[in-house]
Amino acid sequence: MMETWIRVQISQPSTWRGLFLVLTAGLGISISPEMQNALPNLAIAALGVWEALRKGNRFGEPGA
């Protein structure tokens, strides 16, 4: 259930805009527009690695 929520959140542009605002305002970190465009793809790739490495019970079962 939590994984489904995370997948939905990382696919939304508003989530990424909010993270960039927090980083910029709260921590004083500046991220180039090119990096902002690349980070969602990196997060999706990281989720793919997680899915590939985690142990599942049956093929095709979500959250297995």
Q: What is the mean pLDDT of residues 29-53?
A: 81
What is the greatest pairwise CA distance in the chain?
45
Placement of tokens 């999706």 in the chain: 44
| pLDDT tens sequence across 18-33 | 887 887 788 877 778 8
Q: Is residue 64 part of a domain?
A: no
Is the model more confident about 60 or about 37?
37
pLDDT higher than threshold 60 for residue 63 = no
Q: How many domains does the chain have?
A: 1
- Residue 19's Cβ-count burial label (10 Å; 0-12, 13-18, 19+) is middle
Which domain, by its residues, includes 9? 1-58
Residue 61 — pLDDT band, cuts 50, 70, 90?
low
Given pLDDT bands bounded at 50, 70 and 90, which one contains residue 57? low
Report pTM.
Answer: 0.46
Q: Does any domain span residue 63?
A: no
